[in-house]
Structures are given as structure tokens and as C-alpha cells.
Amino acid sequence: MPLGILVPVLYLDHAATTPLRPEAAAAMAPFLGGEFGNPSGMHAVARRAKNAIEDARDRVAGVLGARALDVVFTGAGTESDNLAVAGVALAEGRRGGVVTTATEHEAVLATARHLERLGCPLTVVPVDGHGVVDPARVAAAVDAGTAVVSVMAANNETGAVQPVAAIAAALAGRGVPVHSDAVQAAVSRPCSLDDLGVDLLTLSAHKLGGPQGVGILAMRPGITLAPVIHGGGQELGRRSGTHNVAGIVGAAAALEAAVTDRKRLIDDVGAARHRFEVDLTRAVPDVVFTIAGADRLVQHSHWRIPGIDAETLLVRLDGIGLAASAGSACHSGAIAASHVLAAMGLAPADAAGCVRFTFGWDTRPEDGTTAAGLVAAAVGGLR
């Protein structure tokens, strides 16, 4: 019997990765076929690849409010976070500590803990019950030994939006660069350097409808980075390694398409999430939405049903054609305890029941009603 691929009836795990936008696929196509040059070469084939990368860099810079030479292409959003935090903290003449929050992505937290082992002080600022940090507490944690502050624009698990612009304003004039991981927020909110008021900004192509394996780091002029990957000196010595030409071209196309399509996405996703949460509440009255009263990304719905384990529910949903998750998809394999929910004060038993539904660019308004029906059916079966 031939093997086939079962396509989910409904995909609601866009915070993990998104389907490729047609604009990105079209931009990538030539570089997955006849165009194959290494942009570090000197001949015509290489120059065409180099020109494609520099065109993509110009376009990304235009969207993010950066100079083209201050845009660095990396292999992932995780790598961009590593480069932003460690690159600034270890830069020549600047070596110092990190101030961040308890709910950051592990790409930031693990990097900060590694730097701490190297002698760079680390301060992790707590958050409130909605997962939001107080800008005054972040500013108070910064001292003469702080090299960089890193606060994500919005949380990848819950969708909680952080007051990044207020944090940047509170630190203005103190000479400490502020970095923000905007990987999730950029899907539905303006996230240029000026929008957030930050000095360094991380994006990931595959969260925006681009290809997997391409990260972006945009910076203000004058930021100096110590590389975290050493080799041939590509990206002006900031990130060595042969460029992923097709991926970079696709990333630029996806970013532009996401900006152009943002209002439509917000409308459709907002309608879908609203229908989902209203219909699910009617069908399962004891459902608990984690941060329903806080500022959150329109594409996120994070919730639990008392007495229902998340992993059990997700397996049941997968079996009836709905793909979702319990949190970050960056852990390998089984569901891990969420440091985000622990930092928010959720009891371990409650955290173990939390499910994350994330809608995306291909979501239709009616998908919310469909999803609620599938969840209600799954819960009914489990109960």
C-alpha cells in the first residue's frame, strides 16, 4: 500500500510555522532551478546570486526602517536572537551583562544564561499574571554593567504583547541597546525599528509565510556585533556561511506580502478567533482563556479545559484533522513544561492543560466555527 501524506482538515499552528505564501514561492523558484550561484564568487553566475541577495536586503531594510548594510541574514530567528544578544554583549570594548524577561523565547534566555557562565551578569525581570513586564522594572534593572536589554514584542506561546516601545523610551539616552524578538508580533503588527523604538530587531521568515531556515536581524547604525558563527566572513563578518539565496529572496517577498496583506489578515483572523472563542465557550462552558483580558496578538488563542490534559487533547484533535500545539514548537518531541506559564504563576496542573491555537494568513473567518466544533467533539469523546 503506497504511503501518502494526510493533510490536516484545519491547520491552527501558525506560530510554529506557516504555509509558504505564493509570493515567496514565485520569488524563490528561479533559485531552486536554473539560478544556483554562490554569491561570494566573482563570475557572472555568482554575481546574479549576489545581486538577488542585495536586492532582498534593500527591500527588507525598507520595510524595517534600517540601512541595507545594517540588515543581517541568518539561518533562523533563533540565530538572529543569539547574534543580537551575544553579539552585543561580547562586542569588543563593550562586554557586559544582559537584562531580559522571564517569558522570553529560549533563543534569548539560553543565550543569556550561556553568557552568564562566561562572566556576563544576567538579570531576569519577572512578569505579571498576564505575562507582561513593567517597563519601570526593566529600566531599574539596567546599570553600568549592562550591555544589552532584550524584550520580545509578543510572546510566542500566549500572544501577550509587551510594552517594548515604553521600555525603549525609558532607556533612551542611557547608551544601552535594546533588542526585541518580533518573530510573532510582525505577523499582525507593525514592527519596524521605529515602530518599536528598538536598536536591534529579530524576524523569522517562516512565521510570515516565507521559507524555513532564514532569519533576519535589523539594527540601528553604529551597532557593533561579535560574530557567533566564524568562517568566511560573509555578511560583513557578522555571520559566516554560504548564503541561502532562494531562502533570502523568499524571505524578502514574504515580508513585503505580509505587510501588504496585514489588514486583510487581521480582519479574517480576528473574525475566526472571535467565532472560535465564542462558539467554544458555548459548547464547553468551563473553558478558561489564559489572557483574554490583556493585549494579545490577534492570531493567538491560548486556553485550557479543566480536567483535560493538553497532550491527550492534541492527539485526539490530530486524529480528527485539526493541527494545534501546546506551546513553543522549538522543543524536540514531547511537550515540555512551559517556563512562560510558570513565570505567569500558573500551577503546574493548569499549565499542563493549556493549548495554543494560532491562526494565520490562510485562515478563513469560518475556520473559527469549524475549530470550535472539532474541539467540542474531542472533549466530548474524552469526557
Instruction: Return the pLDDT at 303.
Output: 98
Cβ count within 10 A of residue 107: 27
**Which residue of the set 120, 191, 330, 354 is catalytic?**
330
Q: What is the pLDDT of residue 205?
A: 98
Q: What is the pLDDT of residue 94?
A: 77
Q: Would you call 330 a catalytic residue per the annotation?
A: yes
Which residue has cell 518573530? 183
Catalogue the E-assigned strands of 220-353: 288-289, 300-304, 322-323
Q: Which of 158, 210, 222 is nearest to 351 (CA)?
A: 158
Q: Compute φ and ψ for 71, nearest 5 degrees.
A: -110, 125
Q: What is the pTM of this model?
A: 0.95
Q: Which of 209, 207, 224 lies closest to 86 in space, CA to CA?
A: 224
Residues of the chain short of pLDDT 50, as ranges, are 1-2, 332
Q: 307: closest CA among 286, 338, 324?
A: 286
pLDDT of residue 337: 81
Q: Which residue, 265, 170, 183, is CA-closest to 216?
A: 183
**263, burial (CB in 10 Å: exposed 0-12, middle 13-18, buried 19+):** exposed
Residue ranges and CATH numbers for the domains of the chain are: 10-18+261-382 (3.90.1150.10), 22-260 (3.40.640.10)
| Residue 1: per-residue pLDDT | 38
Buried b / exposed e along 146-155 (16+ C-beta atoms within 10 A): bbbbbbbbbb
Q: What is the pLDDT of residue 239?
A: 97
Side by side, the strands of the sheet bearing 288-289 are 288-289, 300-304, 354-358
CA distances from 276 to 40, 242, 273, 302, 361 (A): 49, 44, 5, 12, 16
Q: Name the strand (E) or helix (H) holding 166.
A: helix 164-170
Give the pLDDT of residue 332: 44
